[in-house]
C-alpha cells in the first residue's frame, strides 16, 4: 500500500513538472506562429505557410479522428494541450541513435511539436521524420506542422508537413514491418521509444505484479485459512483458468503451463481493460495493435511448438491412419495450420479490440458531426443525446469483449498446447 | 474545398512496428517471468497445498467416522459379551449357592444325626451305668436287707415279715 502511494506521488510530481514545461513551450510557439502569419498568405510552388487562426477549427474528420485515437503515440495525451512526455528512442541508419524526452519537441496544440530535433518532429503526438536530408540537423525551431494536398493514387489527400523557412518539408512515418501491404514499410528511421502503448504495458506489468505479489504473500501468511480480500477476489479467476481452461485442455501436466496461461490471460485482460478507460492512465489501444497481438501469438507459437512431442509432429507431417495420397494433401494443410493457428489468435484479438474502439469513437464522433465541428451548439446537444446511450451500450459490450477475448486467447492457447503434448491414443 | 479532399487517415494499428514488437517481447517476457516466479507458481502451489489439505481433512474425517462406527460396533459386541458373561456368572453363582446350601443341609443333617446317635449312645451308656449301679445297689440293698432280716429273724418271725414288707415298700423300685 505504501509503495502504491509512493508511485502516485512520483507520478503527480512528474506531471506537474512536465505540465509547466508544456505551458512554456505553448507560449513560445504561439508567438512563433503569429510571426509567420504573413508568409501564410503566399501561394505557389515551394512556398508554404501555416494555417490562419480562423482555421483552428478544421472540419471534423471522423475516420482520421478515430484512427488517430487508436494509434500509438510518443506522448501521452492527458487533457487539453497537456501531454505526458515519454522517452523517445529513435534510430536512423543514416544518423544513429537519438535519445530524448518527447517534451523536447515543445509540443503545443494537438500534440504538434514546434521544434525539429535531428530532423524528427512530433505530429499529433507521434514522431515523424523530415525526409529531406538537406534539412539542418540538431535542434531547429520550425514554424509549424501543416498539411499540403497531394495526389496519392489519383486521390487528393492531405499530407502532414513541417513548415520551415517558408518551405514545406514532407514527413516520413516510422518503419513498420507490414512490407507496404498496409501502407507502411521500411523508412529512414526506426522508433524504439517508450510509446503510449509501451508505457501502458509497463503500467499493467507493475500493477499486476504488485497485485499478485500481495496475493501470493497473503497465501503464505494465511496458510490453511480461507481466502480473504484481494486474494478472495483473484482466486476464483485463477481457479477458473486452472480448472476450466488448463486442466480440461492440457490434462495431467497442466501445472507446467499454468503460469504461461495465467500470464497470457492477465496480460491481455489488463491491457483490454485499461484500453477501455477513455482517459489517462487508460486510452492506450494496446491489444488493438497488430504488433502487440503478433508478439503474443508468436509467444504462443513458440511455446506450443517447443513442447510439441513426437506424436504431434507425426500428425502434422505424416498423419497416421490415413492412406498415403491423402497424407500428401493433409501434410501441407497441417503445416499451414501450424501458422494459421497463431495467425488467427493475432487477428482475432486485434480485430475485436480495434473494432470496439472504432465503434465507440464513431458514436462519440456523432456529437461533432451533428454539431458541425463545433459550429452548431444545438446539433452538438442532439448528437450527444444520441451518442451517449449508444456509446454506453458499446462500452458495456466492449467490457464483455475484453474478458471474452482474454479468455478465448487463453483457451485456444491451452488447446494448442494440449494438442502438442497429447500422447498417442492409437 | 473540403468535399473533394480526403485527410490522410492512417490506420497505423495494423502496421506492426519494430519498436512495438521489441518492447512487447521484452515486457511480456518480463511479465511472464516475474509473474510465474513471484506470483503464479507460489499461488498455484498454495492452492494445490490447500486442495491436498482439504482432501486430507475429508479423508481423515471419513476415517474417523469409520473408526467411530467400528468402535461402536465393538462396544456393542463387548456389551453383549459382558451381558452374557454376567448371565453366566449369575447362573454359576446360583448353582454354587444351591450346592452350598444343599451341602450345608446335608452336613447339618448328618451332624444332627451324629449328635443324635452320640446322644443315644451316651444315654445307653448312662443307662447301662445306671443299670450297673442299680444292680450294685440292689445287690447291696439285698445284702443289707438280708443281713437285717437275718438279724431280725432271730428275734421275731412276725416282725420279720412286717419288716420285710416295710423294706420292700421302702425300696420301691424306681
Residue B28's pLDDT is what? 96
User: Could you tell me if residue B8 is inside a domain?
Assistant: no
CB contact under 8 A, A157 and B22: no
Average confidence (pLDDT) over A83-90:
90
CB contact under 8 A, B11 and A197: no
User: Could you tell me if residue B110 is inside a domain?
Assistant: yes
Average confidence (pLDDT) over A216-244:
89
* Alpha carbon distance A122, A106 (integer Å): 9
Residue A426's pLDDT is what? 56
User: Could you tell me if residue B3 is inside a domain?
Assistant: no
Residue B2's pLDDT is what? 39
User: What's this model's pTM, rounded to 2 decimal places?
Assistant: 0.75
Q: Mean pLDDT, chain B, as a whole number?
A: 86
**Nearest CB to A289: which of B13, B27, B40?**
B13
User: Could you tell me if residue B6 is inside a domain?
Assistant: no
Residue A57's pLDDT is what? 54
User: Could you tell me if residue B27 is inside a domain?
Assistant: yes
| Overall number of domains in chain B | 1
The question of ipTM being above 0.90 is answered as no
CB contact under 8 A, B13 and A70: yes
pLDDT single digits (tens) A22-73: 333 333 333 333 333 333 333 334 457 776 544 445 677 888 888 888 888 8
∠ Cα B35 B39 B43 (to 5°)? 140
**Nearest CB to A291: which of B8, B11, B20?**
B20
Residue A61's pLDDT is what? 80
Pick from A172, A144, A179, A130: nearest CA to A50: A144
CB contact under 8 A, B16 and A220: no
pLDDT single digits (tens) B129-141: 888 888 888 888 8
User: Could you tell me if residue B5 is inside a domain?
Assistant: no
pLDDT single digits (tens) A290-320: 999 999 999 999 999 999 999 899 888 888 8
User: Could you tell me if residue B4 is inside a domain?
Assistant: no
Residue A15's pLDDT is what? 39
Spell out the domain ranges in chain A. Answer: 2-194, 198-421
User: Searching chain A, which residue's CA lies closest to the CA of residue B25?
Assistant: A295
Inter-axis angle of helices A324-370 and A254-276, to 10 degrees? 20
Cell of A419: 494438442
pLDDT band at B1 (very low <50, low <70, confident <90, very high): very low
Non-local CB neighbours of A104 within 8 Å, separated by 6+ positions: A85, A88, A115, A117, A139
Q: Which domain holds residue B115?
A: 17-171
A15-24, A131-140, A362-371, range with the lowest pLDDT = A15-24
Residue B7's pLDDT is what? 52
Torsion angles phi and psi, residue B136, rounded to 5:
-60, -45
Q: Mean pLDDT, chain A, as a whole number?
A: 83
Judging contacts by C-beta atoms under 8 Å, the chain B residues touching residue A160 are 8
Torsion angles phi and psi, residue A119, rounded to 5:
70, 0
Answer whether the bond into residue B50 is a cis peptide, omega within 30°. Answer: no
* Alpha carbon distance A184, A144 (integer Å): 25
pLDDT band at B5 (very low <50, low <70, confident <90, very high): very low
Cell of B97: 449357592
User: Searching chain B, which residue's CA lies closest to the CA of residue A181?
Assistant: B15
Pick from A297, A276, A255: nearest CA to A408: A297
User: Searching chain B, which residue's CA lies closest to the CA of residue A158?
Assistant: B7
User: Could you tell me if residue B95 is inside a domain?
Assistant: yes
Amino acid at each position: 500500500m505504501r509503495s502504491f502511494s509512493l508511485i502516485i506521488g512520483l507520478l503527480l510530481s512528474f506531471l506537474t513538472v512536465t505540465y509547466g514545461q508544456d505551458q512554456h513551450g505553448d507560449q513560445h510557439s504561439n508567438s512563433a506562429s503569429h510571426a509567420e502569419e504573413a508568409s501564410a498568405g503566399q501561394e505557389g510552388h515551394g512556398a508554404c505557410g501555416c494555417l490562419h487562426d480562423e482555421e483552428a477549427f478544421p472540419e471534423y474528420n471522423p475516420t482520421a479522428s478515430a484512427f488517430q485515437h487508436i494509434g500509438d503515440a510518443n506522448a501521452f495525451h492527458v487533457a487539453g494541450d497537456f501531454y505526458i512526455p515519454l522517452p523517445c528512442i529513435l534510430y536512423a541508419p543514416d544518423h544513429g541513435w537519438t535519445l530524448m524526452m518527447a517534451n523536447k519537441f515543445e509540443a503545443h496544440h494537438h500534440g504538434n511539436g514546434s521544434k525539429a530535433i535531428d530532423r524528427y518532429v512530433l505530429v499529433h503526438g507521434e514522431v515523424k521524420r523530415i525526409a529531406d536530408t538537406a534539412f539542418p540537423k540538431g535542434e531547429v525551431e520550425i514554424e509549424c506542422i501543416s498539411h499540403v494536398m497531394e495526389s496519392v493514387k489519383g486521390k487528393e489527400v492531405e499530407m502532414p508537413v513541417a513548415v520551415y523557412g517558408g518551405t514545406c518539408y514532407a514527413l516520413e512515418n516510422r518503419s513498420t514491418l507490414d512490407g507496404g501491404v498496409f501502407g507502411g514499410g521500411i523508412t529512414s528511421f526506426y522508433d524504439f521509444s517508450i510509446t503510449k502503448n509501451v508505457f501502458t504495458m509497463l503500467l499493467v506489468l507493475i500493477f499486476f505484479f504488485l497485485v499478485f505479489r500481495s496475493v501470493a504473500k497473503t497465501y503464505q501468511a494465511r496458510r490453511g485459512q480461507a481466502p480473504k480480500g484481494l486474494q478472495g477476489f483473484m482466486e476464483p479467476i485463477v481457479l477458473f483458468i486452472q480448472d476450466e481452461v488448463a486442466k480440461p485442455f492440457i490434462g495431467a501436466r497442466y501445472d507446467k503451463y499454468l503460469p504461461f496461461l495465467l500470464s497470457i490471460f492477465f496480460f491481455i485482460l489488463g491491457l483490454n481493460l485499461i484500453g477501455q478507460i477513455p482517459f489517462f492512465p487508460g486510452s492506450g489501444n494496446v491489444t488493438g495493435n497488430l504488433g502487440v497481438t503478433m508478439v503474443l501469438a508468436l509467444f504462443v507459437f513458440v511455446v506450443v511448438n517447443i513442447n510439441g512431442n513426437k506424436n504431434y509432429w507425426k500428425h502434422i507431417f505424416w498423419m497416421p491412419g490415413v492412406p498415403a495420397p491423402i497424407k500428401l494433401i493433409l501434410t501441407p494443410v497441417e503445416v499451414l495450420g501450424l501458422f494459421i493457428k497463431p495467425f488467427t489468435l493475432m487477428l482475432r484479438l486485434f480485430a475485436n479490440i480495434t473494432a470496439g474502439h472504432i465503434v465507440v469513437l464513431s458514436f462519440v464522433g456523432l456529437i461533432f458531426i451533428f454539431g458541425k465541428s463545433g459550429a452548431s451548439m444545438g446539433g452538438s446537444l442532439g448528437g450527444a443525446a444520441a451518442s451517449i446511450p449508444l456509446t454506453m451500450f458499446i462500452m458495456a459490450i466492449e467490457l464483455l469483449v475484453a474478458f471474452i477475448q482474454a479468455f478465448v486467447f487463453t483457451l485456444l492457447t491451452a488447446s494448442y498446447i494440449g494438442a502438442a503434448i497429447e500422447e498417442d491414443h492409437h | 474545398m473540403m468535399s473533394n479532399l480526403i485527410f490522410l487517415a492512417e490506420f497505423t494499428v495494423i502496421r506492426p512496428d519494430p519498436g512495438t514488437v521489441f518492447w512487447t517481447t521484452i515486457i511480456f517476457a518480463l511479465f511472464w517471468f516475474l509473474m510465474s516466479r513471484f506470483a503464479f507458481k507460489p499461488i498455484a502451489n498454495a492452492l494445490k497445498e490447500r486442495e491436498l489439505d482439504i482432501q486430507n481433512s475429508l479423508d481423515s474425517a471419513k476415517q474417523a467416522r469409520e473408526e467411530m462406527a467400528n468402535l461402536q460396533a465393538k462396544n456393542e459386541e463387548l456389551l453383549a459379551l459382558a451381558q452374557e458373561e454376567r448371565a453366566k456368572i449369575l447362573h454359576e453363582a446360583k448353582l454354587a449357592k444351591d450346592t452350598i446350601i444343599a451341602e450345608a443341609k446335608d452336613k447339618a443333617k448328618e451332624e444332627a444325626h451324629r449328635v443324635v446317635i452320640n446322644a443315644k449312645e451316651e444315654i445307653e451308656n448312662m443307662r447301662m451305668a445306671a443299670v450297673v449301679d442299680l444292680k450294685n445297689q440292689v445287690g447291696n440293698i439285698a445284702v443289707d436287707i438280708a443281713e437285717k432280716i437275718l438279724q431280725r429273724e432271730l428275734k421275731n418271725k412276725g416282725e420279720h415279715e412286717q419288716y420285710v414288707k416295710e423294706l420292700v415298700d421302702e425300696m420301691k423300685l424306681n
